[in-house]
């Protein structure tokens, strides 16, 4: 394999790993704050690594510039969206899960 193919495979493997971590966190964690905590960071990193693989496979050119711009805005907007959701949940008065009342929770 050429060095570029190795880089693409490594980036895609990292992206898939973080996307799976985000999905597991979204299903297993108990409340909205914990789920936002899981998805905002892991999902951003997974998407950014996958887009990095796309940019690496294109090589230098105009398409790469577009993908890098997309990657940059993904980095900016994804955590901000998670912040907006958790902030709205806090303004609505949703209590964070502390594990005191629910013994059946994992």
Partner 1 sequence: MSDSERRVARGGPYVGSPIIMATVRVVMPFVFTFGLFVMFHGADSSGGGFQGGVIVGTVVLMLGIAFGIETTRDWIGTRLPVALIGLGMLAFLFTGIGSVLLGAGFLEYAVYGDLGIPHASKYGIEFVELAIGLIVAGIVTGLFFAIAAGTKGGESA
**Site residues (vs partner 1, CB under 8 A):** 73, 76-77, 80, 83-84, 87, 90-93, 95
Nearer to partner 1, 24 or 69 (CB): 69
Tokens of 78: 């994804």
Nearer to partner 1, 63 or 77 (CB): 77
Nearest to 59 by CA among 1, 3, 97, 15: 3
Report, in Å, the least distance between residue 79 CB and partner 1.
Answer: 9
Report, in Å, the least distance between residue 3 CB and partner 1.
Answer: 33
Nearer to partner 1, 13 or 80 (CB): 80
């Amino acid at each position: 394999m050429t060095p570029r193919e190795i880089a693409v495979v490594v980036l895609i493997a990292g992206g898939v790993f973080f996307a799976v971590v985000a999905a597991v966190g979204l299903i297993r964690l108990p409340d909205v704050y914990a789920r936002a905590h899981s998805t905002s960071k892991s999902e951003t990193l997974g998407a950014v690594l996958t887009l990095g693989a796309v940019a690496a496979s294109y090589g230098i050119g105009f398409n790469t510039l577009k993908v890098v711009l997309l990657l940059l805005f993904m980095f900016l907007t994804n955590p901000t969206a998670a912040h907006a959701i958790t902030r709205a949940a806090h303004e609505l008065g949703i209590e964070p899960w502390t594990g005191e009342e629910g013994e059946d929770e994992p």
